[in-house]
Structure 1
Amino acid sequence: MTDEVGRTQDAGFQIGVSKTLPYPAEQVWEFLTDDDGVALWLGAGAELSPEKGAPYRTDEGTEGEVRSYRPPDRVRVTYRPAAWDHDTTVQVAIRAAGEKTMLRFHQEWLADAEERGRQREHWRAVMAAVEEGLAASGSDAS
């Protein structure tokens, strides 16, 4: 029996991971879009341009292109790891909530429920790495 959790009619299988972080939105945006932040969520070696259609490639061979780049709100890219035979779409979005920020990673067009499960764990690990990176950047969360 196929697990249909996370399957949509319009975007295939998808996964979203979100968390409210104790940092202002401007700080979270700056972190996510600098070289170290991009390496955490997209992959080491990726250089992300704000130009629509700009390609990127990570050191591990994940490649794609920028679909939209809307500071300080969201980045949307296509995403295809080297071992995959299909593109997916990844969106990173933030929303200010006072002095806190809601961060969300969303991926759609996943091949099946199994790939969705693997990517859920991937994005949870990315979220933890982003939290650690923000904390290490010398910011006071209070």
Structure 2
Amino acid sequence: MTREVGKTQDVGYEIGVSKTLPYPASVVWEFLTDDDGLAVWLGPGAELGREKGTPYRTDDGTEGELRSWREMDRVRLTWRPAGWDHDTTVQVAIRASGEKTMLRFHQEWLADGRERERQREHWKAVMDAVVAALREEPSDD
């Protein structure tokens, strides 16, 4: 029996999008966790606390709560856009490799294959927006 693409035994449907960026981990992490970066990947108006269980809500009605915050490593949270009837889990993680950094968005507990494909497009667009925003960041040089 073959398993459907993106469907797991443990966390339903999932999707991951990753890219190696030409910036040190500190630059990527600082951007992802400041107000401008949060607006890019989580949504405008998002304010994300650092304590487990802290709720958040974006201007477009996406809401959830922080599950974990590991400095310079990952942020894990629940994520439910307005109009959805279920929570999903999103993890944003970085991994340093010299002066480059791998950035990964991973989402679990998606309802079905169609939602998985929509979210693949969403996170690809978010990745493109993060890359574009980082290009515009002033350098310390």
TM-based fold match above 0.5? yes
SS in 1 for 2:129: helix
Partner in structure 2 of residue 12 of structure 1: 12
SS in 2 for 1:19: strand
Partner in structure 2 of residue 37 of structure 1: 37
| 1:1-142 aligned within 5 A | 4-139=4-139
Identity rate, percent: 75
Q: Aligned-pair RMSD on alpha carbons?
A: 1.1
Output the TM-score relative to the length of structure 1: 0.95
Residues 89-111 of structure 1: CA deviation (Å, up to 9, x unaligned): 00000000110000000000000
Output the TM-score relative to the length of structure 2: 0.96
Cα shift at 1:139: 3.6
What is the identity, as a one-letter code, of the residue corresponding to 2:17? V
Report how many aligned residue pairs link the two structures. 138
**4+ runs deviating over 3 angstroms:** none
Which range moves more in the overlay, 49-58 or 3-12? 3-12
Aligned-partner Cα distance in 1 for 2:117–2:64: 21
Aligned-partner Cα distance in 1 for 2:118–2:68: 25
